[in-house]
Structure 1
């Protein structure tokens, strides 16, 4: 990420049948493959919240994966929010 590309934070709330199906694990695997840092965690309302930092291009690739239908479970909607990177993240965790 030292190529001068803008580093951003993507927060995505994934709706559908996404808890208890390996969704966070697959999200972590994809994020690590892309070289992103952040985390994925189950929300009390049944969604999965994903926070990832990296270049806009790589975060966009993760977002497209979340929306693709190639994830475990069944995604009905992904609500995204973009912001500047906050930093302080290492690795990609399942919370």
Structure 2
């Protein structure tokens, strides 16, 4: 299982849970798509299926390393890894 830590507004879409688990290893993309099994609204908040990419205000790290420094959504993940997903808060 991949442990996914959700921060901020994303927690509300996961029924208030700080952590959720997603089955299996693979890639960050697989983990993100697995969020749909928890709540379809959560998946749509994080991922745009038409563009096949994350929503612009989403940040993801695997084991505390920004996926933009790795292989993006194609970053491999294994059982025991922790994936952090948060939505940026924009000031005005």
Give the TM-score, by structure 2 length: 0.31
Higher relative contact order by CA 8 Å / sep ≥ 6: 1 or 2?
Answer: 1
